[in-house]
């Protein structure tokens, strides 16, 4: 666990570093406090098999956790825990008629991993799928695309002839590369086959559904992603420390300069006065010495008891 500054420390820091740096510290602290969950969201055309696929991942093949043939209840999608650290989100998917494509895409790309589904029975990607894929790719930094976007062809049972499936897949992969600009993870599955295999308790059919393969892929992906997130967090923290330290140093120099200025101002103002008082002091000290000398002399002359003479003598100085 990487420790961020405490709230108390961040509040103290407010006096010395800029607002943006403080916001970054607070953001890091919030993220540390929040239970950090990894979000995996699906996307794809209506009826492309998104909900069926996620039910299969949850092994909810009897009772559909995500209703098949229905649209999720919220625009943000229905959520379910895949495990302690991971949530899967069943989204409404591509709505070609929606004017708020933009909002839907922006919501979608907040997921850590996006799984785009496509029904291979439909052949190649249609225009709205292609544009949707491109929209996703445009909103994710190029170097993150490979680890944040994957493509899953569903309904592979609908193309039982291997050559047919291979041909469609080849076309689709070409389209993906054109839309995304690079190769991304690609799998073909059959949720239907998986359901059937579970019901019939048929391990071979289960394997042939490729759902176990997808599960394995996701397991590895999650492990990798958690590792990367930890490293990124560390890197981010390191940079933030450096930025803060630099600002503190600048601030320190400024304060030292201010101290010097104030000091020289005060010196300028009060040093002459001090000098005058010093000379007065020395003057008085000198007189005191003289009086003491005289007193000593009078004592030696044994006249100390004669106060009047003493007073007269002093006045005479
Ligand atoms: N043959 C076949 N049908 C599927 C498969 N996956 C889903 N379906 C069917 O496709 C329809 C739409 O599925 P659904 O999961 O609701 O799609 P969504 O709208 O994308 O969530 C349903 O009738 C499913 O039974 C599959 O792999 N093979
Ligand atoms: Mg659905």
304 pLDDT more than 60: no
302 pLDDT more than 70: no
How far apart are the CA of 84 and the centre of ligand 1, in A?
A: 27
Ligand 1 surroundings by CB, under 6 angstroms: 44, 46-52, 68-69, 93, 154-155, 157-158, 190-192
317 pLDDT more than 70: no
280 pLDDT more than 80: yes
- Which pLDDT score, from 0 to 100, does residue 316 have? 64
* Cα gap 314→308, rounded to integer Å: 10
Q: Which bound ligand lies closest to the C-alpha atom of 47?
A: 1
106 pLDDT more than 90: no
> What residue's CA is closest to ligand 1, atom 7?
49
Indicate the pLDDT class of residue 100, thresholds 50, 70 and 90.
Answer: confident
> What residue's CA is closest to ligand 1, atom 28?
155
- Give the pLDDT mean for 249-257: 96
**Burial per residue of 239-266, b for 16 or more beta-carbon CB atoms within 10 angstroms, e otherwise:** ebeebbeeeeeeeeeeeeeeeeeeeeee
**Average pLDDT of the chain to the nearest whole number:** 91
Q: Which bound ligand lies closest to the C-alpha atom of 154?
A: 1
For 16-43, the pLDDT digits (tens) are 999 999 999 998 888 777 667 899 999 9
266 pLDDT more than 70: yes
Strands 149-154 and 185-188, by their bridges, are: parallel
Least Cα distance to 251 among 64, 13, 58 occurs for: 13
For 162-183, the pLDDT digits (tens) are 899 999 999 999 999 999 999 9
Name the superfamily (CATH) of residues 35-209: P-loop containing nucleotide triphosphate hydrolases (3.40.50.300)
313 pLDDT more than 80: no
- Which pLDDT score, from 0 to 100, does residue 311 have? 73
- Output phi, psi for 248, to 5 deg: -65, -40
115 pLDDT more than 60: yes
* Cα gap 140→308, rounded to integer Å: 106
* Cα gap 131→207, rounded to integer Å: 33
How far apart are the CA of 28 and the centre of ligand 2, in A?
A: 35
Least Cα distance to 28 among 55, 46, 49, 2 occurs for: 2
> What residue's CA is closest to ligand 1, atom 13?
49
Q: Which bound ligand lies closest to the C-alpha atom of 209?
A: 1
1 pLDDT more than 60: no
How far apart are the CA of 216 and the centre of ligand 1, in A?
A: 22
* Cα gap 94→70, rounded to integer Å: 14
Give the lowest-confidence range in 26-30, 33-37, 209-213, 267-271. 33-37
Domain residue spans in the chain? 1-33+233-317, 35-209
| Number of the ligand 1 atom closest to the C-alpha atom of 68 | 16
């Amino acid at each position: 666990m990487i420790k961020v500054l405490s709230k108390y420390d961040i509040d103290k820091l407010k006096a010395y570093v800029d607002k943006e740096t403080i916001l970054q510290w607070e953001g890091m602290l919030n993220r540390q406090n929040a239970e950090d969950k990894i979000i995996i969201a699906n996307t794809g055309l209506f009826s492309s098999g998104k909900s069926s696929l996620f039910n299969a991942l949850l092994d909810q093949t009897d009772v559909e956790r995500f209703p098949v043939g229905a649209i999720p209840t919220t625009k943000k999608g229905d959520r379910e825990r895949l495990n302690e650290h991971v949530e899967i989100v069943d989204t409404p998917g591509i709505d070609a008629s929606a004017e708020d494509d933009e909002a839907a895409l922006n919501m979608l790309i907040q997921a850590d991993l996006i799984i785009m589904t496509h029904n291979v029975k439909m052949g190649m990607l249609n225009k709205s799928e292609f544009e949707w894929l491109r929209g996703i790719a445009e909103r994710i930094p190029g170097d993150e695309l490979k680890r944040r976007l994957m493509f899953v062809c569903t309904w592979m049972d609908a193309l039982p002839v291997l050559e047919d499936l291979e041909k469609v897949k080849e076309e689709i992969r070409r389209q993906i590369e054109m839309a995304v600009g690079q190769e991304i993870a690609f799998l073909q599955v059959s949720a239907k086959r998986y359901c059937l295999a579970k019901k019939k308790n048929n391990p071979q059919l289960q394997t042939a559904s490729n759902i176990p393969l997808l599960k394995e892929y996701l397991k590895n992906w999650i492990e990798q992603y958690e590792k990367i997130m930890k490293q990124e967090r560390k890197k981010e923290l390191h940079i933030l420390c450096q930025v803060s330290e630099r600002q503190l140093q600048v601030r320190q120099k400024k304060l030292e300069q201010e101290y010097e200025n104030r000091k020289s101002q005060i010196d300028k103002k009060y040093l002459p006065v001090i000098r005058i008082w010093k000379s007065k002091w020395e003057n008085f000290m000198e007189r005191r010495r003289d009086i003491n000398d005289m007193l000593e002399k009078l004592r030696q002359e044994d006249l100390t008891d004669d106060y009047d003479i003493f007073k007269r003598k002093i006045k005479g100085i």
